[in-house]
Amino acid sequence: MKTICLGKTGISVPQNAFGALPIQRVSEEEAVSLLRKAYEGGMRFFDTARAYSDSEVKVGKAFEGMRDKVYISSKTMATTREKFEEDLETTLTNLKTDYIDIYQLHCAARCYTEEDDLYQCLVEAKKQGRIRHIGITAHKIGVAEDIVKSGLYETLQFPFSYLASERDIALVQSCKEADMGFIAMKGLSGGLLTNSEACMAFMSQYDVLPIWGIQRQSELDEWLGFFENEVTITKKIKNVIEKDRNELLGEFCRGCGYCMPCTVDITINQCARMSQMIRRAPSQNWLTEHWQNEMMKIDSCVNCYMCKTRCPYELDIPNLLRKNLKDYKEILAGKKV
Ligand code: SF4
Ligand code: SF4
């Protein structure tokens, strides 16, 4: 397994890390067990966030008494000094620690600089030793490029999978040149990619640290398996990637849910990518009465465009939903998928 050094932080870990967003959906006992098994299996880097409900508490419980054996990153969505302080203290308490390895501004809408309170808060927290390194997460490529150019951050967390564009790949390269760590989120592109071997092999070509979102033992086993059986890009894997890229590229929903809630309660993060999901997972799961009812809600969209203002990928969500609904109705009427 390749080792990744996260730029000037000096943090060096195996290129196989744990994204702790999904553990908010399982019991504390299950989450702690998953996290410990991940450690025992070789993972050393764990990414959580204040916004992931009780994820931090679970991470804190799992690594109590062995804090120096793992690296933990967390995030704040604070927009004021007061909220930053409150979040940081809560995170330290939740994680049962007195320092966070990398503290990140979460889903930054722009590059915060020395003039911004939030950036000053990060610098002060680092001086106090409450955080060891300053990081940021972004979803928009332009914002991410500004962040790298600013030279103010030690790590960038950005979506990166084998659906990446040339511009995304150039971003990875510019991070490397700036001696910034690149933490790759959404390596499965929000569940659209299902071939973990191809995802891992793709990452192995770059100096990035993928944080795989893990919720089940079977998922963890898959990722831990790569410590034993290292994967690289082969002709077979290149073909898988090429096929998926041909099918999935373009305007597609990553399922992140940032656009929600919808004014009329449409489950946008699933319905706006139904055409892909139905072709990639067993179709029957998406044709149940529940999903038919969810999809039919699209007809009640009032075109308020509230969702679009919140989508980091600036997708035209109402139109995307309508396209998905048209396809879905055709499938229900007998179209082959
Ligand atoms: S535009 Fe439609 S989908 Fe978007 S928030 Fe409004 S009602 Fe919901
Ligand atoms: S429409 Fe945009 S914000 Fe909403 S789930 Fe999809 S990618 Fe995320």
The per-residue pLDDT for range 271-291, each reduced to its tens digit, is 999 998 888 767 888 999 999
> By alpha-carbon position, which residue is closest to atom 3 of ligand 2?
311
pLDDT at 248: 78
Measured from the CA of 260, which atom of ligand 2 is nearest?
4
List of residues 6+ apart from 173 with CB closer than 8 A: none
In Å, what is the CA distance from 188 to each residue of 60, 68, 204? 26, 29, 14
Q: Is the pLDDT of residue 58 over 90?
A: yes
What pLDDT is stored for residue 258 in this prediction?
86
Check if 298 has its Cβ closer than 6 Å to any atom of ligand 1. no
- Percentage of the chain beyond pLDDT 70 is 100
d(CA 30, CA 214): 11
Q: Is 321 in the pocket of ligand 2 (CB under 6 A)?
A: no
Is residue 296 scored above 70 in pLDDT? yes
CA dihedral (162, 7, 145, 317) positive or negative: positive
Q: How many C-beta neighbours within 10 Å does residue 259 have? A: 21
**Protein residue with its CA nearest to atom 8 in ligand 2:** 256
Tell me the domains of the chain and their CATH numbers: 3-237 (3.20.20.100), 268-332 (no CATH)
Distance (Å, whole) CA 146 – CA 112: 10
Mean pLDDT across 293-307: 97
Ligand nearest to the CA of 318: 1
Nearest to 256 by CA among 76, 55, 19: 19
The 10 Å Cβ neighbour count of residue 197 is 16
Ligand nearest the Cα atom of residue 320: 2
Of ligand 2's atoms, which has the minimum distance to the CA of residue 269? Answer: 5
Q: Span 208-225, mean pLDDT?
A: 96
Q: What is the pLDDT of residues 233-274, one digit of tens each?
A: 999 999 999 998 888 777 788 888 889 999 999 999 999 999
Mean pLDDT of 76-99: 97
Is ligand 1 within 6 A of the CB of residue 307? yes
DSSP summary character for residue 180? B
Q: Whose CA is nearest to atom 4 of ligand 2?
A: 259
Q: Which two tokens stand for residue 149?
A: 């150019």
From ligand 1's centre to the CA of 318, what distance in Å?
6
**What pTM was estimated for this model as a whole?**
0.86
CB neighbours (10 Å) of residue 110? Answer: 12
Confirm or reject: Cβ of 78 under 6 Å from ligand 2.
no
Q: Across all residues in the chain, what is the average pLDDT?
A: 95
Pair of tokens at residue 274: 């139904």
